[in-house]
Amino acid sequence: MIEILQEYWLQLLIGGFPHTPLGGLALTLVLAVSGLVLAMPVGLLMAVPLRSRLKPVRALAELIIFYIRSVPLLLHVLWVYFLLPAALGVSFPPAITMLITLVLFNGAYISKIVVAGIDALPRGQTEAAMSLGFGPVQTMRFIILPQALRNMLPSLVSQLSLLIKETALGAAIGATEATQTFLDLANNLPGQAIQAYALLALAYFALCYPLLLLGRRLERRGRRTAKIALEPAS
């Protein structure tokens, strides 16, 4: 395993870059982080109809989210891979196809996280802000969202580790992220394939496990501060 690392570390890290587009673990990280950053505004936008006062609007938003969550990510990837070029008349490189899919898919999950984060706040926050003369948008922007974001933080950290794992499906459409890179390498190393796969698993573990621990820690801390805040002042 050490020998594979010594021989191929650069390829595993960045793929054939700069001769080919960025690949390897670097592409996995770029896809996951940019996927999360772009999925945040999408999630916020999707949260608006979810909290609408009009029932049909709410129902439609719920339906769209139910659709996104009910279909395997792999099938979403194939949809975007085949239909987006057909619909727009331009074809995207596999990494971009993967990024678009990840943003839409995770946007749906994040919209639920946003709604839960907002609903967890006491109603008094909105009422107090309104009675102080804040408009609805200002209330949302300055009072509710900053607090909700803190509630959401543990879930967002877990979402990032999910995203890192989801990027592996890029291999299905030929995006040269970590899994594809290791698969290619294993093909060239007959007899050492199992070591390459063990190395691949270790790489994902090294990326995701710290995030798992961090998410757990933030959740515990959040619960503790929530408890303190709820205690009546005496």
Partner 1 sequence: MTLIEFLSGRYGELLLKGLTVTLQLSGVTLAAGFVIGVLLTLIRLSPFWIVRQAVGLLVDAIRSVPLLVHVIFWYFGAPELLPDGPRMWLYARDVNFICAAIAISIYAGAFISEDLRSGLRSIPKGQTEASLSLGFSGLETFRYVILPQAFRISVPPLLGQAMTITKNTSIALMIGVPELVYQAQRIQDITYEPFLPYASATLVYLAICTVLTLASRAYSRTAVKSRGAQA
Q: Binding residues for partner 1, per CB under 8 A?
A: 66-67, 69-75, 78-79, 82-83, 86, 161, 164-166, 168-169, 171-172, 179, 183, 186, 193-194, 197-198, 200-201, 204-205, 207-209, 212
Please say which residue, 8 or 105, places its beta carbon nearer to partner 1: 105
Give me the amino acid identity at 145. L
In the complex with partner 1, which residue's Cβ is closer, 8 or 182?
182
User: What's the rounded Cα separation, in Å, for the pair 80 and 68?
Assistant: 13
* Least gap, CB of 209 to partner 1 (angstroms): 5
**Angle, in degrees to the nearest 10, between helices 193-230 and 2-14:** 70
Smallest distance, partner 1 to C-beta of residue 79, A? 6
Query: CA-to-CA distance for 38 and 31, rounded, in angstroms?
Result: 10
| Least spacing, CB of residue 160 vs partner 1, in Å | 12
Q: Where are the alpha helices (DSSP H) in 120-192?
A: 123-131, 136-138, 145-166, 178-188
State CA 142 to chain mean position distance: 25
